[in-house]
Amino acid sequence: MENIPATLEKLKKQGYKLTPQRQAILESLFGNTTHPSASEIHRDVCRRFPMLSLATVYNTLRLLEAAQEIRSIRAGTDRTLYDYRTDPHAHFICRSCGNVIDIEEEGVRELDGHRIQFQEVTYQGICSVCCRSLFEGD
C-alpha cells in the first residue's frame, strides 16, 4: 500500500506476472488521490497505453483488491471506486462537487461478539469548501 515497488514485490512473490499493463494501472492508482472508477483509470492509462483493454483494468483491479493492495468503495456512488490506501479510514462524498475526501478514522476489530474483518464507512453531504461558497456567497 502506498508504495509501488513494495506492491510489485508482493505480487511477484504471490506468483503474479508483472506486465506493463499492471504496472501502468498501479502507477495510475497510486498517483491519484481522487478515488477513480475503473473507466477513469482506463482513460488515464490509455493516454500512454492506447491498446489497454477495459477488461484488463477490471481484471487487474479485482486481482489487486483480492491481494489487499487496494480497496474499493461501493457506497454512495453508482460505480465502484478504487482507493490505493488500505489502512482504516472513511470517505466523505460531497453531493455538491462530487469530490471523494479521505477522513481519518480508526478501524474496529470486534463488535457485539462479531469478528470484524473489513469495514466501509462512507459519509455524504456538503464538503467544507462547498459549504463556504453556498452559505457565505462566493
Under the binding rule (CB under 8 A), the answer on residue 92 touching a copy of itself is yes
**Distance of alpha carbon 107 from alpha carbon 89, whole angstroms:** 7
Provide the mask over 53-92, with x wherever binding to DNA is found by CB under 7 A and - wherever it is not: xxxx-xxxxx---------------xxx------------
Grid coordinates standing for 34? 481522487
Binder of residue 52, out of DNA, a copy of itself, none (CB less than 5 to 8 A by kind) = DNA
Name the residue nearer to a copy of itself (CB basis): 17 or 128.
Answer: 128
Under the binding rule (CB under 8 A), the answer on residue 68 touching a copy of itself is no
DSSP 106: -
**Distance of alpha carbon 55 from alpha carbon 42, whole angstroms:** 9
Of 49-57, 84-92, 97-105, 129-137, which segment contacts DNA by CB under 7 A?
49-57
Q: With b meaning 16 or more CB within 10 Å and e meaning fewer, what string describes 102-119? A: eeeeeeeeeeeeeeeeee
Binder of residue 21, out of DNA, a copy of itself, none (CB less than 5 to 8 A by kind) = DNA
